[in-house]
Amino acid sequence: MSEVKSQGIDRRQLLQRVGLTALIAGPGISMLSACATGGSTNSTSTVKSNTGNAANPFGVKAGAPLDVVIFKGGYSDDYATQSHEVLYVKAFPGAKVTHEGIVAIGKTLQPRFTGGTQIPDVIDNSGTDLMDNAALVAAGQMQDLTQFWAAPSVDDPKVTVKDSVLAGAMESGVLAGKPYLMNYVATTYGLWYNQALFDSNGWTAPKTFDEFKALCEKIKAKGITPFAYAGKNASYYMYWLIEMTAAKLGGNQVLLDIDNLKDGAWTADPVKKAAAAWAEICQKYSDKSYLGLIHTQVQTLQDQDKVAFYPSGDWLENEMKKIAPATFKYTIAALPDVGGDQMAYPAIRVAPGEAFFVGAKGANPAGGMEYLRRMLSKEGAQGFFQKAGGMTVVKGALEGLQLSAGATSVVAAQKAAGAGIITDSRFENWYKQLETELRTQTNLLCYGGGTADAFCTNMQKAADKIKADSSITKQTR
């Protein structure tokens, strides 16, 4: 719904489509592989193994130039020119950083990768014209980031880069078994409420579904709708909740199984329980009239304290900035436990995105990794937050900063969750047909008098249909 979300979908969608490509990226891919096999490019620079020097773990040569390409989209590229590149130059005073902020990443860079000239060191491979990651890996164009993640972090040499980011952030960049991508931006999902309203009534966010239902009764008694989502155009906000609760109950494997179209993934017990739990909430503590509303209508009702809980990602506060009254304190809540949860409260979903990679055949891959390492410093993450308005995968990067109510609550929720990070669901973009059916079934379940059993059976049927359809390219994770 927000710009951030829609961009994410487009990018991932394109990622998927470009993956199938023969027509558009096809020639590029074959040329890429031709280069890789033909050996027309001579990679002169190699990365020395970890030097053990915390200030320069990859052994960047002093004064070596660095070529950075940033996708100039919703986040623009000020965060690079005014923060990250400045940080890099400060650490390596003689280095000359060449910056390119471009929209059409693929059109600009594909010829350079295929030609083997002017290959950048750091690439923000995003936007609607991004390059096919799998093809780049196959062509040996991406630097393996294993030693990057194992290197000491900028802020604390005792902590590795991997441990300085949120759980699951490194894994989200694994391609063909190795970490090639560094996903930088983190989007957090949960239930949103108005802290001011809750404080004035003495309510607290629930930790279990029993508490949730008890609280809903109290909220209802006040004439406020306890929970609602917009059925007309944003039923996917609702199925995120079902996905998250299923993952809490049965672990992230439940969502991986669904993504991998595993037999019986939808009829698994955690999914059924999650669907039943949310169906009860919708049917008892929401109203069918919300089925006919769009997201801005429901969000506005929440801003007027007519709806207590609303599911969304962390763009919500920014999206409603002009409508929500000044007294409204957006706060994110982790989902309550159904009972017997493997990922107990306060586990939360954080989806990493905006992938960066280092050009393996560029002039300065060590510098590229060093640049990524600086990006993942707290200072780099704060620079991104200030210039681009997005939160990053860097743990606790925004602590101590003066933040909005919503952002503060997101930072706190991430910290409280610790290792309890619910993974994202990729089938939503891989198999749009399944996603469309999920919207229909979610609306049926929540506002159409459906049952959890019917929900699971119908979804399994739809998933089986996708699996059996040979015209759809299958993906796994």
Q: Which of 440, 451, 457, 460 binds another protein (CB under 8 A)?
A: 440
Q: For residues 145 and 135, what is the distance between their CA atoms, to the nearest angstrom?
A: 17
Q: Would you give the binding string for another protein spanning residues 234-263, x where CB under 8 A is met?
A: -x----------------------------
Interacting positions 210-229 with another protein (CB under 8 A): 223-225
Q: Name which of 49 and 433 has its Cβ closer to another protein.
A: 433
Residue 63's identity, in one-letter code, is: G
CA distance 139 to 117: 15
- Contacting residue, 49, 53, 204, 436, with another protein by CB under 8 A: 436
What letters, b where the CB count within 10 A reaches 16 and e where it falls short, cover 155-189? beeeebbbebbbbbbbebbebeeebbbbbbbbbbb
Strand partners of residue 152 = 160
In the complex, minimum distance from the CB of residue 440 to another protein, in angstroms, rounded to a whole number: 6
Which one of 169, 242, 274, 307 is in contact with another protein (CB under 8 A)? 307
Selected binder of another protein within 12, 61, 439, 467 (CB under 8 A): 439
Tokens of 149: 């993640």
Give the C-alpha separation, 123 to 105, whole Å.
Answer: 9
d(CA 473, CA 301): 41
**One of 12, 207, 218, 232 touching another protein (CB under 8 A):** 232
State which of residues 252, 447, 455, 463 lies at the interface with another protein (CB under 8 A): 447
User: Quick one: 81 or 460, whose CB is closer to another protein?
Assistant: 460
Among 443, 456, 459, 463, binds another protein (CB under 8 A): 443
Nearer to another protein, 345 or 431 (CB): 431
Q: Which is nearer to another protein, 83 or 429 (CB)?
A: 429
Cα–Cα distance, 462 to 258 (Å, whole number): 12
- Considering the complex, state which of residue 2 and residue 302 has its C-beta at the smaller distance from another protein: 302
Q: Which stretch binds another protein (CB under 8 A): 61-69, 74-82, 272-280, 439-447?
A: 439-447
Beta carbons of 116 and 141 less than 8 angstroms apart: no
Q: Which of 204, 327, 433, 476 binds another protein (CB under 8 A)?
A: 433
Assigned token pair, 86: 């400045």
130 binds another protein (CB under 8 A): no
CB of 225 to another protein, least distance (A): 5
Which burial class, exposed, middle or buried, applies to 403 when counting CB atoms under 10 A from its CB (0-12, 13-18, 19+)? Answer: middle
Residue labelled with tokens 């009972």: 339
Interface with another protein, residue 467, by CB under 8 A: no
Least spacing, CB of residue 466 vs another protein, in Å: 10
Q: Considering only residues 50, 118, 160, 233, which one is a binding residue for another protein as defined by CB under 8 A?
A: 233
80 vs 462 by CB, closer to another protein: 462
To another protein, the closest distance from the beta carbon of 276 in angstroms equals 19
Q: By C-beta, is 18 or 161 nearer to another protein? A: 18
Of 291 and 358, nearer to another protein (C-beta) is 291
Shortest distance in whole angstroms from residue 472 CB to another protein: 8
The rounded distance, in Å, linking the Cα atoms of 434 and 308 is: 30
Nearer to another protein, 130 or 301 (CB): 301
Residues 35, 352: contact at Cβ < 8 Å?
no
Between residue 21 and residue 60, which ones bind another protein under the rule CB under 8 A?
Answer: 21-24, 26
Q: Which is nearer to another protein, 43 or 233 (CB)?
A: 233
> Is 444 near another protein (CB under 8 A)?
yes
- Tell me if 132 sits within 8 A of 19, measured CB to CB: yes
- C-alpha–C-alpha distance, residues 374 and 151, integer Å: 12
Query: What would the x/- binding string for another protein be over residues 276 to 305, using CB under 8 A?
Result: -----------xxxxxxxx------x----
Residues that bind another protein (CB under 8 A): 17, 20-24, 26, 223-225, 231-233, 235, 287-294, 301, 306-307, 432-433, 436, 439-440, 443-444, 447-448, 471, 473
